[in-house]
């Protein structure tokens, strides 16, 4: 998101917070979030894809709501309004084609109305079919989860994305030689898919409360947290929407403070650090270990300030409309061990993975009673961190990054178990020293892991690690 989009988001949120009451707030947030999907969507060199991708996001949201809500829920007044708003927004975005000479909500001209009407008809058929299927076969929900994971896998895999881009280019008579893995940038899909999977899994386990369509759709594509999270929980989000809300002076100032801090973190600190942060070119050009550490530290702080800055902005903007998004970062670089680091870095992702992967995986592996306890722990930590790595991108380097943290968590766990019975320290000064040592060690472990995150190729990453220690 650029400054213009953030500015518009703040202003819009302020107006919604000031002038909407009750159920209207949810409907307004849905309409604005759906519009933001189109407006925030980056340009794509495939004709009208900047219209179709947001439309598909909306379609996925609606289909998941239909298959997770109770039969006939759509007939309620609130849900019919929600459906009308969604259709209205997509139609409105498309109609800009006929009203304005240049596109205003999309980067390219939207498709012709007749094509969009066809899309609505197909979408209605698919929704009806999936809803009917889901009422008869429980596996429908699993099928949709698999579909979402498959899309995520394709989007996160450079090779698969490239192949898909080539396919679409061939289909639309576009030149194939300029195809790129970046052609299919689907705004916020990493977050949208995880929110949808959370809802689907909770439905399967019977923990999902009934949500109206406006609540559900606003939750999934909530505009402040569309591009960089956090990953809220649906029932918590809906609770905020249902609560009476009035934008007070205190609330506005708190939100404003958070937004200003976020803007400063992102656009002053992070963007400045980006000029000197480790990247592929620097990794090849720098040969002095001290300078390599400097660039690595710059990267470590850049990624933190960038991500946490966006989160602050999202939390602040959401606060203006009465939504208290969960915290995503709580001073992660000041934590004395890796487990605490992961409890304070991208917290909502970690909690999601814990709830929907780590815990089920642990329950499953404990079924193999012949396995030693440490292997179960190692498998759980490794698999979890590999999933987090792959969520960032299906590349060898993200696998190394995930494995680095998985092994780190395992070793830290073993060491803690070993040390707590042998090295009890009662001296408070010594405790402080140990804590500071732990913070420094954890930070450097995390920073070394960033080498895999910042660079694109394993060979360059290992070479950089060696340079850091003066070996190369």
Partner 1 sequence: MNPQTPIRLLPLLLKATLLFVLLNFAFIFLGGFPLGKLSLYNKIFPGRERFPFGENQRGYNLSLFNLDAMFAAHVLAGSPKAGDEFRVLLIGDSSVWGTLLTPEQNLAGQLNSQNISACGKTVHAYNLGYPYISLLQELMILDEALQYQPDLVVWLTTLESFPQDKQLAAPLVANSPERVKELITKYQLPLDPNDPALNHPTAWDRTLIGRRKEIADLIRLQLYGAMWASTGVDQFYPESYEPAQLDYEKDNEFHAIKPAETLQGKLSFEILDAGMNAASVPTILVNEPILISNGVNSDIRYNFFYPRWAFDEYRAALAEHAAAQGYPYVDLWDLAPMTEFTNSGVHLTPFGESMLAEQVGASIQNFCK
Binding footprint of partner 1 on the chain (CB under 8 A): 18, 246-252, 272, 275-276, 281-282, 285-286, 288, 291-292, 294-295
Q: Note whether 435 and 288 are within 8 A (CB).
A: no
Q: Smaller CB distance to partner 1: residue 293 or 357?
A: 293
Of 29 and 273, nearer to partner 1 (C-beta) is 273
Nearest residue (CB) to partner 1, 8 versus 411: 8
| Cβ distance to partner 1 smaller for residue 248 or 431 | 248
Of 34 and 282, nearer to partner 1 (C-beta) is: 282
Hey, is 250 helix, strand or coil? helix
Distance CA 189, CA 10 (A): 22
Q: Give the CA angle between residues 335, 318, 50 to the nearest 5°.
A: 105
CA angle 215/193/65 to nearest 5° reads 35
- What's the closest the beta carbon of residue 330 comes to partner 1, in angstroms? 24
Picking from 113, 120, 111, the residue whose alpha carbon sits closest to that of residue 83 is 120
Between CA 8 and CA 455 the distance in angstroms is 34
Token look-up 């302020």 returns 14
* CB of 217 closer than 8 Å to CB of 65: yes
Using CA atoms, how far apart are residues 83 and 89, in angstroms rounded to an integer? 10
Output the smallest distance, CB 218 to partner 1, in A: 23
Min. distance of Cβ 245 from partner 1 in angstroms? 12
Q: By C-beta, is 198 or 265 nearer to partner 1? A: 265
Residue tagged active-site, from 392, 429, 444, 472: 392
Residue pointed to by tokens 């933190």 = 304
Q: Measured from the CB of residue 425, what is the shortest distance to partner 1 in angstroms?
A: 39
123 vs 247 by CB, closer to partner 1: 247
E strands in 170-241: none
Q: Are 73 and 97 in contact (CB under 8 A)?
A: no
CA angle 168-173-176, nearest 5°?
A: 65
Q: What distance in Å separates the CA atoms of residue 123 and residue 129, rounded to the nearest whole number?
A: 10
What DSSP state is assigned to residue 469?
A: T
Q: Which residue has the tokens 């999202």?
A: 314
> What is the C-alpha R_g of the chain?
24
Is 392 annotated as catalytic? yes
DSSP state of 112: P
Estimate to the nearest angstrom the gap between the alpha carbon of 232 and the chain centroid: 10
Strand, helix or coil for residue 209: coil
Q: In sequence order, which residues have a C-beta less than 8 Å from that of residue 370 and are 6 or more positions away?
A: none
Smallest separation (angstroms) from partner 1 to the CB of 45? 23
Report in angstroms how near the CB of residue 273 gets to partner 1 at its nearest: 9
Instruction: State how far the Cα of 52 lies from the Cα of 57, in Å rounded to an integer.
Output: 9
Nearer Cβ to partner 1 (35/282): 282
Query: Measured from the CB of residue 8, what is the shortest distance to partner 1 in angstroms?
Result: 17
Question: Least distance from C-beta 137 to partner 1, angstroms?
Answer: 50
The residues assigned a catalytic role are 392
């Amino acid at each position: 998101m650029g400054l213009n989009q953030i500015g518009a988001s703040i202003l819009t949120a302020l107006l919604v917070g000031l002038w909407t009451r009750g159920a209207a707030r949810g409907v307004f947030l849905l309409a604005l979030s759906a519009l933001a999907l189109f407006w925030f969507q980056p340009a794509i060199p495939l004709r009208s894809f900047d219209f179709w991708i947001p439309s598909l996001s909306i379609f996925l949201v609606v289909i998941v709501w239909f298959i997770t809500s109770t039969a006939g829920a759509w007939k309620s007044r609130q849900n019919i309004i929600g459906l009308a708003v969604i259709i209205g927004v997509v139609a409105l975005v498309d109609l800009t084609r006929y009203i304005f000479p240049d596109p205003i909500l999309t980067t390219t001209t939207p498709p012709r109305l007749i094509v969009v009407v066809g899309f609505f008809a197909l979408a209605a058929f698919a929704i009806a079919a999936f809803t009917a299927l889901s009422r008869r076969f429980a596996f429908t929900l699993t099928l949709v989860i698999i579909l979402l994971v498959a899309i995520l896998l394709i989007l996160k895999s450079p090779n698969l994305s490239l192949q898909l881009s080539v396919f679409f280019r061939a289909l639309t008579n576009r030149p194939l030689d300029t195809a790129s893995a970046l052609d299919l940038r689907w705004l916020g899909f990493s977050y949208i898919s995880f929110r949808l999977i959370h809802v689907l899994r909770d439905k399967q386990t019977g923990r999902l409360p009934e949500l109206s369509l406006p609540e559900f759709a606003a939750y999934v594509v909530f505009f402040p947290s569309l591009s960089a999270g956090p990953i809220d929980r649906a029932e918590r989000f809906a609770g905020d929407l249902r609560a009476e809300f009035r934008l007070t002076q205190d609330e506005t100032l708190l939100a404003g403070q958070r937004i200003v801090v976020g803007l400063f973190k992102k656009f002053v600190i992070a963007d400045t650090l980006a000029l000197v942060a480790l990247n592929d070119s620097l990794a090849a050009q720098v040969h002095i270990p001290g300078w390599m550490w400097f660039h690595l530290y710059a990267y470590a702080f850049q990624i933190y300030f960038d991500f946490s800055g966006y989160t602050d902005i999202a939390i602040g903007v959401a606060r203006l409309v009465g939504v208290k998004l969960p915290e995503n970062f709580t001073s992660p670089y000041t934590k004395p061990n890796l487990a605490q680091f992961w409890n304070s870095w991208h917290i909502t992702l970690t909690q999601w993975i814990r709830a929907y992967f780590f815990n089920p995986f642990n329950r499953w592996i404990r079924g193999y009673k012949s396995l030693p306890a440490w292997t179960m722990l190692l498998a759980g930590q490794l698999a979890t961190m590999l999933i987090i790595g792959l969520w960032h991108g299906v590349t060898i380097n993200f696998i190394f990054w995930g494995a680095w943290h998985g092994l780190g968590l395992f070793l830290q766990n073993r060491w803690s178990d070993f040390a707590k019975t042998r090295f009890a320290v009662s001296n408070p000064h010594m405790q402080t020293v140990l804590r500071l040592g732990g913070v420094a060690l954890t930070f450097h472990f995390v920073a070394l892991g960033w080498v895999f995150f910042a660079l694109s190729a394993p060979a360059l990453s290992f070479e950089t690690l060696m340079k850091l220690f003066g070996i190369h």
